[in-house]
Structure 1
Amino acid sequence: MDERTQAGAGDERGGGIQVIARAAKILNLLGRSAGGMSLGEIAQAVDLPRSTVQRIVGALEEQGMIRSEGAGGISLGAGLLRLVANAHVDRMTVVRPWLQKLSEAVQETVVFSRPAGIQLIVEDRVVADRELQVMPRLGQLDTPLYGTSAGRALLALDKDEDVIALLAVSNAAKHKAVLPQTLAIQLDSIRKTGISSDHGEHIEGITTTAVALDTVLGRFAISMPIPTFRFERSRDFYLEELLHCKAGLLKEIGIDG
Structure 2
Amino acid sequence: MDERNQAGVNDERGGIQVIARAAKILNLLGRSAGGLSLGDIAQAVDLPRSTVQRIVGALEEQGMIRSEGAGGISLGAGLLRLVANAHVDRMTVVRPWLHKLSEAVQETVVLSRPAGLQLIVEDRVVADRELQVTPRLGQLDTPLFGTSAGRALLALDKEEGVKALFAAESNSKPKTVIPKVVLAQLENIRQTGISCDHGELIEGITTMAVALNTVLGRFAISMPVPTFRFERNRDSYIEELLRCKAGLFKEIGIDG
Name the TM-score, length of structure 2 as normaliser.
Answer: 0.86
Contact 1:120 1:145 in 2 (8 A): yes
Counterpart check, 1:193 vs 2:192: yes
Query: What does 1:199-210 correspond to in 2, within 5 Å?
Result: 199-210=198-209
For 1:220 and 1:238, locate their aligned partners in 2 and report how far apart those are by CA, in whole Å: 19
Cα separation, partners in 2 of 1:234 and 1:158, compared to 1, 3 Å: same
| Greater alpha carbon shift after TM alignment, 104-113 vs 37-46 | 37-46
For 1:186 and 1:48, locate their aligned partners in 2 and report how far apart those are by CA, in whole Å: 44
Give the number of aligned pairs.
244
Corresponding residue for 2:4? Answer: none
3-state DSSP class of the match of 1:122?
strand
| Greater alpha carbon shift after TM alignment, 76-85 vs 23-32 | 76-85
For 1:81 and 1:90, locate their aligned partners in 2 and report how far apart those are by CA, in whole Å: 17
Amino acid at match of 1:135: T
Structure 2 unaligned spans of 5+: 1-9
RMSD over aligned CA atoms reads 2.3
Amino acid at match of 2:151: R
Cα separation, partners in 2 of 1:150 and 1:78, compared to 1, 3 Å: farther
Corresponding residue for 2:45? Answer: 46
Cα separation, partners in 2 of 1:88 and 1:210, compared to 1, 3 Å: farther
Cα separation, partners in 2 of 1:150 and 1:83, compared to 1, 3 Å: farther
3-state DSSP class of the match of 2:21?
helix
Cα separation, partners in 2 of 1:16 and 1:94, compared to 1, 3 Å: same
| Greater alpha carbon shift after TM alignment, 54-63 vs 98-107 | 54-63
After superposition, the C-alpha distances for 1:108-163 in whole angstroms (9 at most, x for unaligned) are 10001112222212111110001111111112222221111101101101111111
Counterpart check, 1:142 vs 2:149: no
Structure 1 unaligned spans of 5+: 1-10
Q: 1:46, CA displacement in angstroms?
A: 1.6
For 1:256 and 1:217, locate their aligned partners in 2 and report how far apart those are by CA, in whole Å: 8
Contact 2:213 2:255 in 1 (8 A): no
After superposition, the C-alpha distances for 1:69-93 in whole angstroms (9 at most, x for unaligned) are 2211112234434444555642222
For 1:197 and 1:87, locate their aligned partners in 2 and report how far apart those are by CA, in whole Å: 35
For 1:130 and 1:71, locate their aligned partners in 2 and report how far apart those are by CA, in whole Å: 61
| Greater alpha carbon shift after TM alignment, 64-73 vs 230-239 | 64-73
Corresponding residue for 2:130? Answer: 131
Contact 1:115 1:220 in 2 (8 A): yes
For 2:82 and 2:241, locate their aligned partners in 1 and report how far apart those are by CA, in whole Å: 29
After superposition, the C-alpha distances for 1:29-64 in whole angstroms (9 at most, x for unaligned) are 112223210012112222223232223223323433
Amino acid at match of 2:208: T
Identity %: 84
Q: 1:195, CA displacement in angstroms?
A: 0.4
3-state DSSP class of the match of 1:234?
helix
Counterpart check, 1:119 vs 2:104: no
